[in-house]
């Protein structure tokens, strides 16, 4: 006997917002570790240092600006897209208020960094699995991929390098944590995405995909497999 429809939606919403909350917490913990941030967070930190705005506020502001770039790319946001912009930034600031900076000893900071990266991978799988729409940065990636015909890997790499370089120039923290995140987030996100995958969400997304979006995109511009948001992300 299948579960009631409402319970399926409730579970998807819990996963979405639970994942976004944990993602924001993971960003703050990686920041507290002080050993290097993910590329977009390097940019957010650099902008924060120059503007005096909180890390969370900058995260929201840059997410909103990226979302505006969706307009010429004809990308359509979903509930998860808008929630991504707001919830993660709010949780970054909330976590930074309650979690103090750890002692400078590496035996404290390294485990904190490792925990933050694993938590980010878990959060990524948790909030992507319900399929409420990609985050703003991943929508930018897939939009450019479709408009230019370039591979997802190339588009993503160019965006990440540009963002990281800009953040570094602005004073964002680049270090071993940046490398660890870049190497580890993909496998971790893939593992947890499979763990939290909801078959009913996948079926619903496939059923609601507009036919013209499937037919108007040149075949060479489509990825070989579905592109999930895999933040570097935020």
pTM over 0.75: yes
Mean pLDDT of 189-215: 64
Give the other-Cβ count within 10 Å of 116's Cβ.
25
Task: List alpha helices for 129-231, DSSP H.
Answer: 136-148, 152-169, 176-196, 199-208, 211-216
Interval 35-65: pLDDT, tens: 999 999 999 999 999 999 999 999 999 999 9
Interval 100-147: pLDDT, tens: 988 888 999 999 999 999 999 999 999 988 989 888 988 888 888 888
- For residues 47 and 99, give the distance between their C-alpha atoms in angstroms, rounded to a whole number: 22
- What is the token pair recorded at 203? 């079926």
- For residues 191 and 193, give the distance between their C-alpha atoms in angstroms, rounded to a whole number: 6
């Amino acid at each position: 006997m299948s579960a009631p429809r409402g319970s399926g939606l409730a579970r998807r919403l819990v996963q979405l917002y639970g994942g976004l909350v944990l993602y924001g917490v993971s960003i703050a913990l990686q920041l507290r570790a002080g050993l290097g941030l993910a590329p977009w967070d390097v940019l957010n930190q650099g902008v924060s240092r120059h503007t005096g705005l909180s890390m969370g506020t900058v995260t929201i502001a840059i997410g909103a600006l990226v979302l505006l770039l969706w307009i010429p790319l004809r990308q359509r946001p979903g509930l998860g897209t808008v929630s991504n912009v707001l919830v993660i930034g709010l949780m970054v600031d909330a976590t930074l208020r309650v979690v103090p900076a750890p002692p400078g000893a590496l035996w404290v900071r390294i485990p904190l960094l490792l925990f933050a990266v694993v938590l980010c991978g878990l959060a990524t799988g948790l909030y992507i699995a319900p399929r409420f729409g990609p985050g703003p940065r991943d929508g930018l990636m897939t939009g450019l991929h479709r408009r230019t015909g370039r591979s997802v890997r190339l588009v993503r790499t160019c965006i990440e390098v540009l963002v990281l370089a800009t953040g570094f120039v602005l004073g964002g923290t680049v270090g071993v944590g940046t490398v660890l995140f870049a190497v580890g987030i993909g496998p971790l996100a893939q593992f947890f995405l499979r763990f939290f995958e909801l078959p009913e969400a996948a079926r619903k997304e496939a059923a609601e995909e507009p036919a013209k979006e499937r037919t108007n995109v040149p075949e060479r511009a489509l990825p070989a497999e579905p592109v999930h948001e895999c933040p570097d992300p935020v």
